[in-house]
Chain A
Amino acid sequence: MMPREVADVVAAAKDGDREAFDELVRLTYADTYTLAHRLTGNEEDARDVVQEAYLRAYRGLRRFRGDAQFSTWMYRITANCAATHLGRRSRHRHDELDESVPVVDPHPDHDPQLRADADDLRSRLKVALDALPPRLRAVVVLRDVYDLPHEAIAAELGISESAAKVRLHRARNKLRDQLFGRREGESRAG
């Protein structure tokens, strides 16, 4: 569905049309679930976060001004719910990425070698992301995958903008080390 059509459905939902809101859920829930899964690292928590996110969106839809895309608004709510959900947990889980979760890629690369390389890097990246501490993973996913500004990330995660930037820097460093390895003896003192 094109953004314009989503905008129409959002407008109807804001006017109190319950069926329109259900339609919005149908249009966006897979995307929202994907973000929730990336932030929490597991299916069970992702399901809880998605359900909470749509409840909050339903209650707060009148406050959605429409100057951002609905999907961006949902990302922010999802990030906030995930932060709250993970904050409630006393334990941090670092489960292996569930490889049984099917991935749909609408833009497959046609060059077999390039595609194989890109697929390999992406697979290793997913494992590396999953191994990051949740507070680092949240920032780097929201910034580098979903392109949210630092200000929005800080607001939704309940941290300062400078803390968000520091976490982003640490997360990128860890991912780079994990994916490409730090050369032996490399200490950046050169």
Chain B
Amino acid sequence: MQCADLTDTLAGAADGVTELGRAERRHVERCLRCQAEIVQYRKLLRAMRSLRTDVLEPAPGLLADILANLEEAGERHAVRSILSGRRIAYLGGLAAATAAGAAGAIVFASRTRRARLAG
């Protein structure tokens, strides 16, 4: 077992997601270089996690911009809903008118036929 064999493993071991095998553990116990590397990874990971509690202060105006964007998106959505509602009403009216026309034509045709038969 050499240090190079552990290149991909030490960060995971420091993170606690990778468990070292027996041979790897034996190597690390005797190798100051690998021990130092694990310590460095642990410090790195601790520092990374500590960043989670750092909150950058957004530039003034960002909140107002986000809310204005959402407002605009909401308006656009409402307009689309209205337009699609009107489109549905228009298509519905068109369908009703077509159906009425067709029914009228059928009635007219049947009356004409009846009159011809009677004549």
Q: Give residues in A with beta carbon < 8 Å to B.
A: 18, 21-22, 25-26, 29-31, 33-34, 37-38, 43, 47, 50-51, 54-55, 58-59, 101-107, 118, 121-122, 125-126, 140, 144-147, 169, 172-173, 175-176, 179-180, 186-190
Contacts and interface: CB of A to CB of B under 8 A. Distances in A.
A33 B70 CA distance: 16
Nearest to A124: B47
B32 to A, nearest CB: 10
A105 B65 contact: no
Contacts of B69: 51, 54-55
Contacts of A172: 11, 41, 44
B52 to A, nearest CB: 5
A29 B11 CA distance: 32
B51 to A, nearest CB: 5
B45 to A, nearest CB: 6
Interface in B1-47: 2-4, 6-8, 11, 31, 33, 37, 40-41, 43-45, 47
Contacts, number: 122
Interface residues of B, number: 37
Interface in B45-73: 45, 47-59, 62-63, 65-67, 69-70, 73
B93 interface: no
Given A29-B62, A190-B33, A59 B44 contact: no
A54 B48 CA distance: 26
Contacts of A25: 63, 66-67, 70
A31 B56 CA distance: 8
Looking at B37, B41, B70, B74, the one whose CB has the most chain A CB atoms below 10 A away is B70
Given A50-B66, A145-B52, A125 B4 contact: no
Q: Which 9 A-B pairs have the closest CB atoms?
A: A144-B48, A33-B58, A190-B3, A34-B56, A180-B40, A188-B4, A188-B3, A172-B11, A102-B57
B56 A101 contact: yes
